[in-house]
Chain A
Amino acid sequence: MTPLDARDEADLQAWIDGTMDDAASAVFERRLAADAGLRAATDLDDAVAASLRRTFVVPDLGAIVNAVKDADGGVVDGKGSATPFRPSWRVAAATLIVGFAVGMAIWTEPRDDGPLPPAGMATAEQIEFVACTDDGNALGCSLVEQIGQKLPLMTCKTPSSFTQATQANVGCGLNLRNPEALPLDGRPIDGVPDAMAFTARVDGRPVLLFIVHEQVDRRPELSHASGFRCFRRAIPPVVCYEITTFNEARLLGTIDRP
């Protein structure tokens, strides 16, 4: 395509912007009909605009807007003293849990799970529920989308891959003694070093497993209304949490140090 001269370029831009008066616009459109080069440039501009509109589709931002509306007064103290936002382990946990709650409803693809291990949960401690953060609710949306699209960052299909994943992400390789709990879909938690999350299906129900280094360990926050139970087990130097709708932890007892 031959580049347009300055006048044609200016006219074309004004025509696209709709800033030409009627008379000038009519003249330009007559030229457009007669000038194949000018018409090709116009058509390409139109095609580019259509492409950008296809690619940059604004998503539903309602969850983010609602999170801003609901943010508590402690965040908005107006003193400017707050540190820049960084997702904490607890917020990340809440994020995953919210995503997980919706993910349970949409993650319906069957998996070939074998029989499950006995609970064996003598060392797991059930922890109490505390309020879920609004931040977590908003952040959860992106994870819901990821779960919905079935795009885990990694899938551990073997015990050794689980060991490798935990070594790489929390600095401590762990054994998963019951391979029938596999596969586990895992992901490091963005912005929170030494922490990662896994999802698995146990007896047909999704279960969340969080593993964090003890130095960044804090209780995950769950909503009372979430219907989830949270179990904790310390396996120094890491701490594992299992978040589940079962009355007992089903995975924690099968994890230990090599």
Chain B
Amino acid sequence: MDGDGILVSHDEFAALFQRSAQVLWCLAAAVLGRPKDADDVLQESALIALKKLDDLRDQDGFEAWMGQIVRYTALNARRKADRRPPVVGDAGSDDCVLDRVAAPEDAPAPVVTAGGDLLPSQVAFDDQVLDALRDLAETARACLLMKTVMELDYKHIARVLGIAEGTAMSHVHRARSRMRAALSAEGLDAGRVAS
């Protein structure tokens, strides 16, 4: 702190950010509905936060404050991506085609293990899971990912999202149930994707 009204110093902010970076990345990915671009969102959020550092009144509120910035930044990125027009190109023209190389876009890359690629059915299952995840509301998605991927307890999830602990738990429980229902409706079951 100093006399200029900065309640959290740059060094303190950097330490807090480092401690929470993975959780904040997960939150960004949840809002986006995909892992792609989450690191860009996190980085942009950090830069925004640095410029607004005097809004942060105490270190205990860091994750909620930073979480809100990440959510807004991710929402903006998602809206921007949704309305982004095709870049260039005229696929019908032989002499002046700008060949867009196929990018993975939203599809997660299959994980290659020491034993080889995932089974095709497992890759398809991952796609179905991602689709079902995107059908959840943003907060439910964030709660589920933070619980499942980051293995946070409900108190921690609640702190990051600025919601009650019980609400975080309800979101996770309902999200699991809805994911199960959605995937069952697709005719998928765990036995078909067992490795």
Contact = CB atoms under 8 A, between A and B. Distances in A.
Contacts of B126: 51, 54-55
Contact of A45 (B14, B104, B145, B176): B176
A179 to B, nearest CB: 12
Interface in B9-53: 10-11, 13-14, 17-18, 21-22, 25-26, 29, 35, 39-40, 42-44, 46-48, 50-53
B21 A64 contact: yes
A9 interface: yes
Contacts of A54: 108, 111, 118, 126
Nearest to A69: B14
Given A44-B190, A68-B13, A153 B184 contact: no
A48 B183 contact: yes
Given A57-B35, A58-B22, A64-B21, A45 B180 contact: yes
With most chain A CB atoms within 10 A of its CB, the pick from B39, B55, B188 is B39
Contact of A85 (B21, B44, B108, B130): B44
Contact of B99 (A51, A59, A73, A157): A157
A113 interface: no
B191 interface: yes
A217 B13 CA distance: 34
A158 B50 contact: no
A164 to B, nearest CB: 5
Contacts of A158: 95-97
A169 interface: yes
A51 B125 contact: yes
B54 to A, nearest CB: 5
B125 A47 contact: yes
Interface string A140-175: 011000000011111111101101110011000000
B190 A80 contact: no
Given A75-B50, A85-B48, A55 B101 contact: no
A5 to B, nearest CB: 12
A154 B89 contact: yes
B99 A61 contact: no
Given A48-B180, A58-B26, A80-B55, A71 B50 contact: yes
A92 B70 CA distance: 21
Interface string B69-83: 000000000000000
A76 B53 contact: yes
A9 B11 CA distance: 46
A58 B25 contact: yes
Of the four ranges (under 10, 10 to 19, 20 to 34, 35 or more), the interface on chain A belongs to 35 or more
B181 interface: yes
B155 interface: no
B71 to A, nearest CB: 15
Given A47-B190, A55-B108, A164 B99 contact: no
Given A48-B176, A67-B43, A154 B98 contact: yes
A49 B145 CA distance: 9
A178 B20 CA distance: 51
Closest 4 CB pairs of A and B: A43-B190, A82-B51, A78-B6, A160-B96
Interface of B: 4-6, 10-11, 13-14, 17-18, 21-22, 25-26, 29, 35, 39-40, 42-44, 46-48, 50-55, 87-90, 95-101, 103-104, 108, 111, 118, 122, 125-126, 129-130, 133, 144-145, 148-150, 169, 172-173, 176-177, 179-181, 183-184, 188-191, 193-194
15 contacts: A3-B181, A13-B173, A40-B190, A40-B191, A41-B180, A47-B190, A47-B193, A52-B133, A55-B129, A61-B22, A68-B13, A69-B14, A141-B39, A154-B87, A164-B96
Given A76-B53, A84-B51, A141-B39, 5 more contacts: A43-B189, A52-B145, A56-B149, A65-B21, A69-B11
